[in-house]
Amino acid sequence: MKVLDQAPAQPRLKERRGNQELRQHFMLAETLLAPLLGNPDSHNGAAFYRAMHKLQTAFPYLSGNEIEALVAAVVRSVQTRAKGR
């Protein structure tokens, strides 16, 4: 016998981000990189290199691609906040 008063199960939304571990490191990465990348006018190759080096030191187990993704996410966050001012 089928129960009709139960709501159908909602489909689970698939997380679009493939690497959940990076999300856990984002806040710490943002804190570490704020002094380097806090001013959007200072975003140049040297600042990005220093940012990547700082994160590689803090998270030696992450790959170069993961470090680059974290730096890019922090830069986007800084730029978004700067536009909102």
Q: Is 74 exposed, middle or buried (0-12, 13-18, 19+ CB in 10 A)?
A: buried
Q: Which two tokens stand for residue 54?
A: 């700082």
pLDDT in tens, the chain (85 residues): 555 555 555 555 555 556 677 788 899 999 999 888 877 777 788 899 999 999 999 999 999 999 999 999 999 888 887 776 5
pLDDT of residue 34: 86
Q: Are 71 and 43 in contact (CB under 8 A)?
A: no
Residue 39's pLDDT is what? 77
Length of the chain equals 85
Indicate whether this model's pTM tops 0.85: no
pLDDT at 85 (0 to 100) = 59
Whole-number mean pLDDT of the chain? 80
